[in-house]
Amino acid sequence: MGVNRRGDVIEAFNLIVRGNRVACDTYRNRPSVPYIPMICGGGEEVANKMLIQPNAYVLDMDNSKARRIKSLRTRFFLPNRIRWNTFHAIALRSTEPAISNVYFMVRTNLTEEQEKALVIWLNSFWGILTVFAFMEITEEAFTRLNTAQWRVLPVLNVR
């Protein structure tokens, strides 16, 4: 499961930061040089459905952090923080392998169908209740689940 979702990705790909957020609008267009698809940001425009497409494209870098992050590219993403009064989907599945600056990149040994089933289950009533049991309330409508909490979350055996 993923890396330090913010600092490592920003550092590895030299991402532009405005305030405390990556300037996702800077990376919307695919560059003509080699690039890496990315799920940039975590707002409603990203998580408004379970099946998503990369919304940013960063230049392919060749440093040790970038190589590690590129090796973790996946189609399955889980959030670190959830804002319950605006979220639409918890678990996301991308149309192509990508990295993310906000979501945990989750590599599984599941088939495509099994991974899709897990995404659907995590977004179901039972999946959301399970997340409620393990979440940490941080402020107002925000909750957090770190990698350790996601790893011990009892989920449906989709095999």
Average model confidence (pLDDT) for the chain?
A: 88
- Crossing angle, helix 125-134 and helix 112-122, to 10 degrees? 70
Which alpha helices (DSSP H) does the chain contain, by range?
A: 7-12, 64-71, 112-122, 125-134, 147-152
Please report the beta strands in the chain, taking only residues with DSSP state E, as ranges in sequence order.
17-18, 21-22, 35-39, 51-52, 56-59, 74-78, 81-83, 92-100, 104-106, 136-139, 142-144
pLDDT of residue 45: 79
Percent of the chain with pLDDT over 90: 46
50-105 pLDDT, tens digit each: 999 999 999 999 899 999 999 999 999 998 888 877 778 889 999 999 999 889 99
Question: Tokens 């977004």 appear where?
Answer: 123
Q: Is the pTM of this model over 0.85?
A: yes
Q: Which residues contact 56 (CB under 8 A, 6 or more apart)?
A: 24, 27, 28, 37, 38, 39, 40
pLDDT of residue 6: 59
96-152 pLDDT, tens digit each: 999 998 899 999 999 999 999 999 999 999 999 998 888 777 777 778 888 888 888
DSSP 59: E
* Distance between CA atoms of residues 2 and 24, nearest Å: 20
pLDDT of residue 70: 92
- Mean pLDDT over residues 15-38, rounded? 89
Question: Tokens 């425009």 appear where?
Answer: 45
Alpha-carbon distances, residue 82 vs 18, 28, 47, 86 (angstroms): 22, 24, 10, 9
Which among 72, 43, 71 has a CA at the least distance from the CA of 56? Answer: 43
pLDDT reading at 4 higher than 70? no
Alpha-carbon distances, residue 110 vs 10, 95, 99, 117, 157 (angstroms): 29, 16, 19, 10, 10
pLDDT of residue 139: 75
- Mean pLDDT over residues 40-56, rounded? 87
